[in-house]
Structure formats: C-alpha cells, structure tokens
Structure 1
C-alpha cells in the first residue's frame, strides 16, 4: 500500500491551529459529561425538524406567489442553480431593514457558510505572493485557517482592551509596505468579536474607514453576532457607514437561523473595471471562484433560509427576539458567575481578570498561569469543565488566558461551569 510523507502534504494539513481545535473536539468526545464553556455553537433548543419543513414550504409558497410555475419551482430548488444564489433580493431587503445597508441584489453572493465567503474574498483580493491580509488579533481561526489553505499571509494587528485601534492599523499597513508587500485588506469583527467579545465604538468605526481610505485598504467586515447585544443600542455596521465602497460585508445565518443549513453570504458591491473599460460588480467577478469551489450553494438549504426571511418580513431582528433574550440572559449569567467565584480585590490587582463584553457569545479570562492543552485536559478529567485556550487565536501570544462561551448551555449549566473553573484555578494556583 502507498504511504505518503506528512511533510510532503500542504502546510494546512498540519496547521497548528486546526490541530489544536481538533484536540479540543477530541477532549470533548472523551469527557462527554464535562460542561463545555468552549463550544461557540448556538443553543440546540431553538431548532426542530418541523421548523425546517415549515420554512421550506413557506419559501415554495413565496416562489409560487411570485408567479413561478410548478416546473420552474422544481427546477429552481432541485437542480444546479445560479452560482451566486437565489436569495439576493431577500438578503438585500433584510440588510436594508435591519442594518441600514443599501445594496443591489446583484451584489450579494450566497455562500456555503460564511467560511466559503472568506475563502472567496481572500482568493479574489490577493492574487500575488506579495499580497497580504491584515487581521485584528486575537483572530477567529476560520480566517487564519482559510488564509493558510490559500497560501495568503496574515499579518496580525494587535487589539487593545478597547478593541482595534485605527492608528495601529495604519502603523501595521505602513510596516507591511516598507517590507515590500501590499496590505490588501483588513479582516475584523466589529460587533462582539470572536474570541475577545470586544465591540468597537462608533467613533472608532468612522476613523477606521478614514484609515482604510488613507492606506488604500479594503475592509472585510464579519458580523455574525451583531444581533446579540445586551441592549438595543444602535451599533452601525461599517458597511452602513461606508461611503467609498471600502467594505466587503460577510454574513452568516448560522447563529440567527440554522447552523446546519450552512448558508452565509458576501456583499461585494465594488466596481471592477477590465482592460477594455467594461464595468462589473465584484460579486459577479467572484462567482468564477465560487463556481470552482462548490458550483453553487445548495438550493434546498437556501429555501429553508428563504422561508425564515419570508415569514419574518425579511428582518432577522424580528425573527430572533427570543434568541436575543436567551443569549442576553446567558451572558449576564456568565459575567455574574465570574464576579461571584472570582471576587475582585479593592486594589484591582486580581489574580484572575476578565473583560465585560456588551453582547455576543464570549468573554476572555486572564489567569496567573499558562492555560494550555495540558491544563485543559486536567480541567476536563478532574474538574468536569471545558474552555478554549486563547493562544489558539494568536500567532504568538495569549498563553495565560482562556475563552469562555455562553451560547450553547442553559443558565444553570453556565453557572456550574464557572464554579468548576474556580476549583481548577484554586488547585492550579
């Protein structure tokens, strides 16, 4: 039998981040009774197979009401479809209602999850070996993993406790150019970032757009958590503030609808000009990349998401009211449990510290010792609680911190999980 050398396979096969995440999954499998404050997935209780059937039927009715014949409906749902998908009009309406983003349906590409949107954007925007992407660090592993597969270098832009600093972005961009490379785009999650939980103030968002123009950067705005703030304070997306076409907007229906549908989207309304002066939309140009990845996004999955949009009047905010309240309660429970089990000292020099996100699924806890895979295994085996080492999200750093997620559990499980974590910390200190 043929044997292949692992050293001769692509570097993405042995990517340390992917290997670390696989380790986390393996630990969860070996200790199924451990409370997982590691999983960032949505709460299972929101989903049922009956809902899938209902939403699919709602979308079919929507197509029929739009004048399509039975033959046309059957072909649209059961055949290969348009590369960029069939939900462009519904998504464009949703973006206008929920986010104040005004885009043409033709600028929307429906993708097989937001992960595919990242790969398509990186591949289209970084054609040469000197093209690099900047990314707020700590950074979501999906972006760094996608870049590794494509051979695109990611240059970290370190966050402060207040989030990404526009002047830091400018400084890093200048350093990249001085090194003979081209900083093509900046990836960031402005609302309740994964993993840090940080959300950028509006003034910072506006300044970031100015810096993008000064440094000739595009912005890859990923917004999976924007619905889930602790309050109803408006948090305008970068895309809604953008007046120069600097922002490509990445969206996902995983947290707001069904993770299993694997439907995301990419808004790329920038104009592309060819050598003959012909103008097209960037989303249309990117369709060539998508056609070689997945041909098209499953029309059946699109129909399920389409049904959610139809029934909600194209408003995910309206469709997610119950989920918003659930995740708000969970985050409050997590932060209250941290206060209870790790009381702050009057001096402020606490051995255990954590940030206080204003929404989303995550918080970061800093410890007085290293939070590595070895400690995680002890945590699972002896204390029955899982968490994610923050170093998974850094190119070099995060050794003494961990990420806690509050999305997948009920409130009482979160409280017990933090209690178990406090016992681990007391034993390890």
Structure 2
C-alpha cells in the first residue's frame, strides 16, 4: 500500500492561498493559450536571445583575465562550487554608484538566486524570535508575503495610498505591534512603480520614511525592480541613495534589466553587526550563513553571464537599457490610452495613471475573482490578475479591482486586450 499523507499535516505554505493563486494564474494561462495575457508581469521576449550568451561569457572571462586570474582560476570560478556571497560584488557596487549614486563596499553585496532568495535571506536573518514580525505595504507583492509565510514570519500590512506608502501611517502600526508584545523588525516597500499598484512615492515622502525608520528603529527592505522604467527622466532617488543612517537593506534583480532566466539578484546590506566579543562585520557577511544553507551559492555560470552583461554595459543598466525603457514607456502609455478610449465614458470604471513601471490598477463593477477570470479567459480571450491576490486572505481587499500588466506584449496586443476587457465589463457588470 502506498503512503498517504494528510494535507493538513504539511506546512501551511504548501496550501498557502497566495501561492495557490499564482498557480491558478499559470493554469488559466495554460488552459487558454490564445487569450491575451494582461496578467503576466514578465519582460518582453523580444529583448532576449540565446545568441548573446556565449558573448557575455567570453566578455566576463576576458574581464577575469584582465584582473590577473589564470586560466585554471577562471575555469574553477565558473565550474566549481563558488563563494557563498558571489563574485559580482565589485561590478554590482560599481553599477550602484553609476546608476543610483549608492556607494557601498563590495563586501556589502550578496549575489542571490533571484531577488526572491534575497527576500528569504533578509527575512530569515532579521526575524530571529517568535514575536518578530515584518511590516509590508498593502497591496503587496506576493513573493514577499509568501516568503514570510514559508518562514513562519507574520506580515503586518501598512495600507498604501495613491502616492505609495504614506510614512505617517508607519508609527501607529509600529506602536500597535509593540503594544501587542511583538517586535517589528523591518518594513518592506517598493518605492518606485510598485507591483501590483504601480504607485510611486514622492521624494519628500521617501526622505520622511527614512526619518520614521530612525525614529521607530525599523530597517527598510527596499525592493527596486522597476526603477529604470519611468515614463520620464525625472530623478527618483532610491531610499538607499538617500539613506545616511544605514536603515535600508536594498534588494535588486537583473530579471527586468537583463533577462529573468539567469535568476540572478542581489542584496545590499552594509549595516554593521557587533558580536558579543566586540567583533564587527557587515550584515551581508553575516547573512552568508543563511544563504550557504539555502542554495550554497548562486550559479557561477549565471553570474558570469550577468557579469559579461555588466562589463559590456560599462556597469550602467540605465545606459544599456535605453531601448527597453523606451519600449516599456510606450506600452504603459498605450495601456493608459486604451483604458481612456474604451472606458472613458463609463463612470463605473476607474484606474490609476502610474508614472512608470509595468502595472496599472482598474476598479471594475464586477467581482474580480477566480471564477470571473476563468470566464474572461474562456469567453473573452483576455487574462488579468485579481487584486485580491495581493491582500491578506479574508481581508476583502481588492475584490472589485484588477491588475493589468503591459510589459510582455507588443503594443497592438495591449490595445486589443483592453478592448476585450471592455466587452467583459459591459456584459458582466453588476447592476448598481
């Protein structure tokens, strides 16, 4: 007789509602392959080619040779187990100076297997006690909330405004958490063009959030996957660039700027850690113990590909990504124009107008749940993401809102997707 396990004896993350929701999106997309997906937040396929991989590898190997590594050392670096925190610290540190005016030592950089691993490592390292919690802007990227639940770390939501996180809401949440006997360790936020909302914090609010972090003793986990893709060239300094007190742990990724298949992200943690004997290290160095037990090290071959990309780009993603930025700007403008064209006369439908990024949120006169998404894919040929997926289970948040993504499609398909969505709303709207 084969072994049977009770599902309720497995860890809660196995049947986590948000993980299930992401799986559901993949299943719906597989069932309706001809539907236009305004749900997928991935980069546009036209910017990636396997033909580039040998060149990036050759460029990186030449870079290592220029640094004085012998042939045997170069072979070992790519083909053997590698340094836990990775080999790209110097290149990433240079990139941060060039693109973001962030100055950190290379030993403050940990190279991770995608930004998702960086989140897991940061949460595991910072949340040491059962009463430790992490605050997160809501609606929130499910990768963060899912990682927290995988680790058994409670996420306390901080509501987002139209302009992103309002710093003045944070102290009250911190006080309530502490009054309940728990310890708030960090606040997760995406200041620029957030996923899922598209909201972006004004510079004054970013400065104020750093003040609040100092006043409340919080670290900030800043996730910045979309900062390169503003609709204009207006300076939007990262929290890390504005941070003079060491309050920000910066999470980054090459998924959008280079390509996601490399699965290379990074964590910048330059906070000083003081041991009982007075020894002093950087947080990134301390967190290497977590990473070593999680993935041992990030693939050296994948690092080499990204390293070659950085060398060719002169360590500037902004300079190398101008074509991508122009494309995503055009697609977001196409999305917003299509919403105006197809919904502008319908007072029941409202949407925001992000200043950049991949996403917009639309409030619709229907229940935007899994059943309606199934109907949308089957009968109308268009997919989207229910905003309820980005709120705490049972909260009721986002019940009549959807997230639209414009990143993965050519502009004409974005336009057609919105037209199909308009048909769905006209046919399925709930009477007022």
2:356 pairs with one of 356, 359, 362: 359
| Of 298-307 and 159-168, the range deviating more from structure 2 | 159-168
SS in structure 1 at match of 2:165 = coil
Aligned Cα root-mean-square deviation (Å): 0.6
Contact 2:366 2:425 in 1 (8 A): no
How many angstroms does 1:239 deviate by?
A: 0.3
| Match in the other structure for 1:334 | 335
Measured against aligned partners, the alpha-carbon deviations of 1:139-173 in whole angstroms (never above 9, x if no partner) come to 00000000010000000000112211111111111
SS in structure 2 at match of 1:208 = helix
Measured against aligned partners, the alpha-carbon deviations of 1:373-402 in whole angstroms (never above 9, x if no partner) come to 010001000000000000000012110100
> 1:91-170 residue pairs with structure 2 within 5 A?
91-170=92-171
1:383 pairs with one of 359, 380, 388: 380
Contact 2:36 2:382 in 1 (8 A): yes
How far apart, CA to CA, are the structure 1 residues paired with 2:94 and 2:58? 20
SS in structure 2 at match of 1:159 = strand
| Match in the other structure for 1:290 | 291
| Match in the other structure for 2:268 | 267
| Match in the other structure for 1:402 | 402
How far apart, CA to CA, are the structure 2 residues paired with 1:162 and 1:400? 20
Contact 2:192 2:199 in 1 (8 A): yes
Measured against aligned partners, the alpha-carbon deviations of 1:77-103 in whole angstroms (never above 9, x if no partner) come to 111110000000000000000000000
Match status 1:392 vs 2:409:
no
How many angstroms does 1:220 deviate by?
A: 0.1
How far apart, CA to CA, are the structure 2 residues paired with 1:167 and 1:41? 33
How far apart, CA to CA, are the structure 2 residues paired with 1:66 and 1:207? 42
How far apart, CA to CA, are the structure 2 residues paired with 1:351 and 1:52? 48
SS in structure 2 at match of 1:288 = helix
How many angstroms does 1:190 deviate by?
A: 0.3
Measured against aligned partners, the alpha-carbon deviations of 1:43-72 in whole angstroms (never above 9, x if no partner) come to 001111111111111001111111111000
Measured against aligned partners, the alpha-carbon deviations of 1:207-246 in whole angstroms (never above 9, x if no partner) come to 0000011110000000000000000000000000001000
> 1:212-223 residue pairs with structure 2 within 5 A?
212-223=213-224
| Of 165-174 and 111-120, the range deviating more from structure 2 | 165-174
Q: Which runs of 5+ in 1 are unaligned?
A: none
Measured against aligned partners, the alpha-carbon deviations of 1:163-198 in whole angstroms (never above 9, x if no partner) come to 111111111111101111011100000000000000
Match status 1:422 vs 2:422:
yes
Match status 1:184 vs 2:185:
yes
| Of 127-136 and 48-57, the range deviating more from structure 2 | 48-57
How far apart, CA to CA, are the structure 2 residues paired with 1:62 and 1:371? 51
Contact 2:387 2:403 in 1 (8 A): yes
How far apart, CA to CA, are the structure 2 residues paired with 1:120 and 1:163? 25
How far apart, CA to CA, are the structure 2 residues paired with 1:85 and 1:423? 50
TM score, norm. by length of structure 1: 0.98
Contact 2:251 2:266 in 1 (8 A): yes
How far apart, CA to CA, are the structure 2 residues paired with 1:40 and 1:13? 23
How many angstroms does 1:369 deviate by?
A: 2.1
How many angstroms does 1:410 deviate by?
A: 0.2
| Match in the other structure for 2:321 | 320
Contact 2:365 2:425 in 1 (8 A): no
How far apart, CA to CA, are the structure 2 residues paired with 1:203 and 1:170? 17
Q: Which runs of 5+ in 2 are unaligned?
A: none
SS in structure 1 at match of 2:287 = helix
How far apart, CA to CA, are the structure 2 residues paired with 1:269 and 1:163? 26
Measured against aligned partners, the alpha-carbon deviations of 1:397-427 in whole angstroms (never above 9, x if no partner) come to 1101000000000000000000000000000
How far apart, CA to CA, are the structure 2 residues paired with 1:52 and 1:264? 18
SS in structure 2 at match of 1:193 = coil
State the 4+ residue runs in structure 1 displaced beyond 2 angstroms. Answer: none
How many angstroms does 1:344 deviate by?
A: 4.4
| Match in the other structure for 2:43 | 42
How far apart, CA to CA, are the structure 2 residues paired with 1:106 and 1:344? 55
TM score, norm. by length of structure 2: 0.98
